[in-house]
Amino acid sequence: MADQKEAKKIIKKTFAGVVVSAKGNKTLVVSVRRSKLNSKYQKRIAVSKHYKVHDEANQYHEGDKVNFVECRPISKDKRWRVIK
């Protein structure tokens, strides 16, 4: 029974995007672009979404490409942190 609990691994979502804003203290706004298929016309369209990401060292600036992963809630909107 203990082996089954240890065997479960938590898979966290990971995204890559471009920093849109780095004005907040230890906070980045990252834009993630992906393509989505239109169900009616079967045409690919570009969709983007903004995420607020925690940057502990304040080392990233606008235009940088970053990878980030989900984590515990850090604030009202931040549930992501930068990975190296």
23-59: per-residue pLDDT in tens? 999 999 999 999 999 999 999 999 999 999 999 999 9
Query: What are the extents of the domains in the chain?
Result: 11-83
**32-60: string of b/e by CB count within 10 Å (b at 16+)?**
eeeeeeeeeeeeeeeeeeebbbbbeeeeb
Rounded to an integer, what distance in angstroms lies between the CA atom of residue 24 and that of residue 66?
16
Rounded to an integer, what distance in angstroms lies between the CA atom of residue 54 and that of residue 56?
6
Q: How confident is the model at residue 2 (pLDDT cuts 50, 70, 90)?
A: low
The domain made up of 11-83 has a fold known as: OB fold (Dihydrolipoamide Acetyltransferase, E2P) (2.40.50)
23-32: per-residue pLDDT in tens? 999 999 999 9
